[in-house]
Structure 1
Amino acid sequence: MTPGRVRAVYPGTFDPFTPGHVNVVNRARELFDEVVVLVAVNSSKRPGTDEVRRAAAVRAVLPVEWTSVTVVAWNGLTTTYCHQHDVGVIVRGVRNTTDLRYEHQLAAMNQALGVPTVFLPAQPELAAVSSTAVRTLGR
């Protein structure tokens, strides 16, 4: 990585990747030099497809001109990815106070592991959309 450049990671299950997720990536790429969308395995969730297929679906949605954004499938701690790939910050979107409470706990753990978190609040028109709701409606 070039000195002075800040890489960020935006982790999630992304099952599916929603317009709210796209919005967070777009805003993160305006704040950081590079953004890695980290399509993760989460043992408490049961996504409809594996992380490799979900990563391919995310790549297909993101505009090709967003050259500072990459998509990676990952099975492990987000902080481990950050330390192994010289990523300085975790980006998390929050839709409401429930999200914020949960994300605050994760951020404290990640900070203790050496990686700070930046919260990006959802745009009001996208705040009601969750992957779970989209997945449920799609069945």
Structure 2
Amino acid sequence: MTRAVFPGTFDPVTAGHLDVVERARRLFDEVVVLVAVNGDKQPTRVGETRAEAVRAALPSDWGNVSVVAWRGLTAEYCRRHDVGVIVRGVRNAADARREQELAAMNDALGVPTLLLPARPALATVPSTAVRASEV
């Protein structure tokens, strides 16, 4: 069984996030949406609240997708839970550079990363813009 994680702050979860999860769940037997609990990111809501929002946004028939709030390195979660790959979405060239750096770090920690390009219609919608529209 191949397991993957899709980590992020999900503050809030967007259509782009859900698209990445949808595509990843077709590639892997199980996908864990790993909600980062990281005070450095200064999220607007606590980790478990964000995890609940992700769970609520997932279609009920996505049985191979679960959601977990996690404090710590993604690679550490992968080692502890027998997860073989990290999935990340990439919207643009700046994202690609940043994600390649993270992928190299995670690869050095023993976990490869699969970068999925955003669909063009979703590539211009960052979480910060969605968050601003919710206010």
- Measured against the shorter chain, the TM-score band is over 0.9
Q: Which amino acid aligns with 2:8?
A: G
Deviation of 1:133 after TM superposition, in Å, equals 1.1
Counting only pairs closer than 5 Å after superposition, residues 1-139 of structure 1 correspond to structure 2 as 5-139=1-135
Per-residue CA distance 1:76-99 (angstroms, 9 max, x = gap):
100000000000000000000000
- In 2, Cα distance between equivalents of 1:31 and 1:62: 17
- In 1, Cα distance between equivalents of 2:101 and 2:39: 17
Give TM-score scaled by structure 2 length: 0.98
Q: Which amino acid aligns with 1:35?
A: V
SS across alignment from 2:86: strand
Per-residue CA distance 1:33-55 (angstroms, 9 max, x = gap):
10000001234311111100000
Per-residue CA distance 1:105-137 (angstroms, 9 max, x = gap):
000000000000000000000000010111122
- In 2, Cα distance between equivalents of 1:47 and 1:136: 13
- In 2, Cα distance between equivalents of 1:18 and 1:91: 16
Percent of residue pairs identical: 65
- In 2, Cα distance between equivalents of 1:121 and 1:89: 16
Q: Which amino acid aligns with 1:54?
A: R
- In 1, Cα distance between equivalents of 2:74 and 2:118: 21
- In 2, Cα distance between equivalents of 1:118 and 1:69: 17
How many residue pairs get aligned? The number is 135
RMSD of the alignment, in Å? Answer: 0.7
